[in-house]
Structure 1
Amino acid sequence: MRLMSWNVNGVRAAQRNGFLGWLSNSDADVVAIQETKASPDQLDQSLISPPGYRSFWHSAEKAGYSGVAVYTRVDPLQVTEGIGAAEFDREGRVLQLEFRDFVLINAYFPNSQREHARLPYKLAFCDAMLKHCARLGKKGKNVVICGDFNIAHEEIDLKNPKSNRDNAGFLPEERAWMTKFLAAGHADVFREREPGPGHYTWWSYRPGVREKNVGWRIDYHVVNRDFTDRV
Structure 2
Amino acid sequence: MKLISWNVNGLRAVLGKDGFAWLAEQNPDFLGLQEIKVSEKDAPKGLYELGFSQIDLNSAARAGYSGVASLAKFKSETSKALFFPDDEGRVLQHRFGDVVLFNIYFPNGQKDEARLAYKMEFYAKFLAYARSLAEQGLGVIFCGDVNTAHREIDLANPKANSKTSGFLPIERAWLDEVEAAGFVDTFRAVHGELRDAYSWWSYRFNARAKNVGWRIDYFFISA
Whether contact under 8 Å (2:156, 2:213) holds in the other structure is yes
Alpha-carbon displacement from aligned partner over 1:164-197 (angstroms, at most 9, x marks no partner): 0000100010001110111011110101121221
The equivalences for 1:24-63 within 5 A come to 24-63=24-63
Alpha-carbon displacement from aligned partner over 1:27-60 (angstroms, at most 9, x marks no partner): 0000000011111211233213533432101111
Moved more, 215-224 or 36-45: 36-45
Cα distance between partner residues in 2 of 1:20 and 1:173: 36
Whether contact under 8 Å (2:15, 2:46) holds in the other structure is no
Structure 1 stretches lacking a partner, 5+ long = 226-231
CA shift, 1:64, in A, is: 0.8
CA shift, 1:99, in A, is: 1.8
Cα distance between partner residues in 1 of 2:52 and 2:117: 41
Query: Which residue pairs with 1:133 in the alignment?
Result: 130
Instruction: Pick the structure with more helix per residue.
Output: 1
Query: Which residue pairs with 1:80 in the alignment?
Result: 79
Query: Which residue pairs with 1:162 in the alignment?
Result: 159
Cα distance between partner residues in 1 of 2:41 and 2:63: 11
Query: Which residue pairs with 1:228 in the alignment?
Result: none
Cα distance between partner residues in 1 of 2:156 and 2:25: 31
Letter in 2 for 1:218: I
State the secondary structure of the residue aligned to 2:117: helix
Cα distance between partner residues in 2 of 1:162 and 1:111: 20
Alpha-carbon displacement from aligned partner over 1:79-133 (angstroms, at most 9, x marks no partner): 11112422xx111111011122421101111000024441110000000111110
Query: Which residue pairs with 2:103 in the alignment?
Result: 106
Whether contact under 8 Å (1:20, 1:47) holds in the other structure is no
Moved more, 113-122 or 202-211: 113-122
Are 2:220 and 1:222 equivalent residues in the alignment? Answer: yes
Query: Which residue pairs with 2:197 in the alignment?
Result: 199
Change in Cα spacing, 1:156 to 1:101, as seen in structure 2 (3 Å) is same
Query: Which residue pairs with 1:10 in the alignment?
Result: 10
Moved more, 41-50 or 98-107: 41-50
Cα distance between partner residues in 2 of 1:197 and 1:154: 11
Cα distance between partner residues in 1 of 2:213 and 2:189: 20
Cα distance between partner residues in 2 of 1:22 and 1:101: 30
Are 2:169 and 1:172 equivalent residues in the alignment? Answer: yes
Instruction: State the identity as a percent.
Output: 44
CA shift, 1:21, in A, is: 2.6
Whether contact under 8 Å (1:58, 1:82) holds in the other structure is no
State the secondary structure of the residue aligned to 1:198: coil
Cα distance between partner residues in 1 of 2:41 and 2:24: 22
The structure 2 residue matched to 1:123, chosen from 120, 124, 128, is 120
Whether contact under 8 Å (1:36, 1:66) holds in the other structure is yes
Cα distance between partner residues in 1 of 2:22 and 2:11: 13
CA shift, 1:140, in A, is: 1.2
State the secondary structure of the residue aligned to 1:211: helix
Letter in 2 for 1:179: D
Query: Which residue pairs with 1:229 in the alignment?
Result: none
State the secondary structure of the residue aligned to 1:169: coil
TM-score (norm 2): 0.95
Structure 2 stretches lacking a partner, 5+ long = none
TM-score (norm 1): 0.91
